[in-house]
Structure 1
Amino acid sequence: MKIEIWSDVACPWCYIGKRRFETALAAFLHRDSVEVQWRSFQLDPSLPEHYDGTELDYLSTRKGMAPAQVSGMFEQVAAVAAAEGLTYRFDDVVVANSFTAHRLIHLAAAHGKQDAAKERLLSDHFEHGRDIGSRDYLTSLGRDLGIDAAAVEELFSTDRFADEVRQDFAEGRALGISGVPFFVIDRKYGLSGAQPAETFTAALEQAWQESHPLVMVDAGSPATGEDGAVCGPDGCAV
């Protein structure tokens, strides 16, 4: 079973959704048969490489909301994140364009480190105030993931993986995805938003049952033609 997750590194609900999905997957009986692939999405492609201002400034300007209202929103989201074991520090968030970070996730996928890269980027952005658009930071992250420095350097000297990131954007649009996180199971089921773990569990179970239906076999004895004896609410066959 394959699950594709469209997500942006700069999306607070995407990290919460990741944790809730992981909770459901960890308890899923067939988790070893599940392939998870992270897909790229940008909430604001027009964002400059580096924004001269705080997350509060940025969202207040972009959404046309009063700063006090945005601060209240931060508090609510941080409380939800805390319930999932995450420590959001919105005052420390560095606002930056996430396009190169998405390219790094694709590079990490080529080295079998996609989920580790996604986890670090989300945590470093929302919990540790790291600059996800910084060349120094992304180079350091690549080194931590065990990726050759020359391969990481290509992200800054060439357009490697840029087409793959844009293809993710295009596939997301074709599927009707306009917000993230968005979870697609076997290109058949879609779940929008950071759903509760129980919702992910139900979706996993339903998708698995439909792709692996129980097939009944003829239980009759070849020698006697008799059916297998069973017991039910009204008693047992004699």
Structure 2
Amino acid sequence: MNKVRIDIVSDVVCPWCIIGYKRLEQALMTLSDEVEADINWHPFELNPAMGVEGQNLKQHLQEKYGTNDEASDAARQTLTQLGNEVGFPFHFTPNMRIYNTRKAHQLLMWSSSEGKQLELQLALFHCYFTDNQDIGDEAVLIQCAQSVGLDPSVAEKVIRDEGWAESVATTEQQWLEAGINAVPAIIINQKHLISGAQTTELLISALRQITQE
């Protein structure tokens, strides 16, 4: 059995991040007799300056990327189909909003030490993309943390602690300085970078090649 360290740099409001992870999950299931993975998630905020009220998702994409309604609708259809293929339910709505994710990343960073990071990461993806909840809202975040077995009183302290906020910002800066400027970014054994939501087949091939080196 080959052991690998997999670092995933992502944001909770990035649909390609959950698709990329689910494809990685499929690859690791295929290689379950060959590869054992230690997965670690790292913060990357797509919109660090986003206000607490968030913004309508279509409006945000139009302002940031120049995406019109037709292109946005087509992208949503594609993402929904790809989500179905990997077993993740996207539920896009006309009023869907994008939110600030700093506090979510604070919880994710803390949850790593509690052995609950992967569970919380997946819960947050579902909370936002499937249940259309405001993942910048403290009550929603605390409920997410509690749903995976984390202490809600500690979770509340973490999301209100400036020290955790600074740790997230520092970590994000380190990834930027390392050349990571888009997500998802998957780093295997701290030296092999796979950018974007690559196919399961490519991930299987890459993992086999890396573990056989």
TM-score (norm 1): 0.82
Other-structure match for 1:138: 141
Q: Deviations over 1:18-63 (max 9, x none)?
A: 100000111223333x211001111121211222x42112212222
Whether 1:74 and 2:107 are equivalent positions in the alignment is no
Between Structure 1 and Structure 2, the one with more helix by share is: 2
Contact 1:121–1:132, Cα closer than 8 Å, also in 2: yes
Question: Once the 2 structures are TM-superposed, how far is the Cα of residue 64 of structure 1 from its aligned partner?
Answer: 2.2
Partner residue in 2 for 1:30: 34
Runs of 4+, deviation exceeding 6 Å:
none
* Larger of the two Rg values belongs to structure: 1
CA contact (8 A) 2:107 2:159 kept: no
Asked if the contact 1:94/1:125 (under 8 Å) is kept, the reply is no
Size of the aligned set, in residue pairs, is 208
Contact preservation (8 Å) 2:11, 2:17: yes
Rounded Cα–Cα distance in structure 2 between residues aligned with 1:109 and 1:48? 26
**Which amino acid letter does the alignment assign opposite residue 105 of structure 2?**
H
Counterpart code for 2:151? D
Q: Which runs of 5+ in 1 are unaligned?
A: 211-238
Structure 2 counterpart of 1:62: 64
> In the alignment, is the contact (CA less than 8 A) between 1:103 and 1:160 conserved in 2?
no
Corresponding residue of 1:148 = 151
What residue identity is the alignment partner of 1:59? L
Q: How does 1:217-236 map to 2 (within 5 A)?
A: none
2:44 equivalent in structure 1? 41
**Larger mean Cα displacement after TM superposition, 140-149 or 178-187:** 140-149
Change in Cα spacing, 1:188 to 1:156, as seen in structure 2 (3 Å) is closer
Distance 1:6 1:133 in 2: 19
Instruction: Provide the rounded CA distance (Å) in 2 between the counterparts of 1:3 and 1:167.
Output: 20
Q: SS at 2:198's partner residue?
A: coil
Contact between 1:93 and 1:130, CA under 8 Å: does it hold in 2? no
Secondary structure at 1:5 match in 2: strand
Paired residue type of 1:36: I
- Find the aligned partners of 2:210 and 2:192 in 1 and give their Cα distance: 8
Structure 2 unaligned runs (5+)? Answer: none
More strand by share: 2
1:203 aligns with 2:206: yes
Q: 2:16 aligns with which of 13, 17, 20?
A: 13
State how far apart, in whole Å, the 1-side matches of 2:85 and 2:151 are. 36
1:52-201 counterparts in 2 under 5 A? 53-91=55-93, 93-201=96-204
RCO greater where, 1 or 2, for CA within 8 Å and sep 6 or more? 2
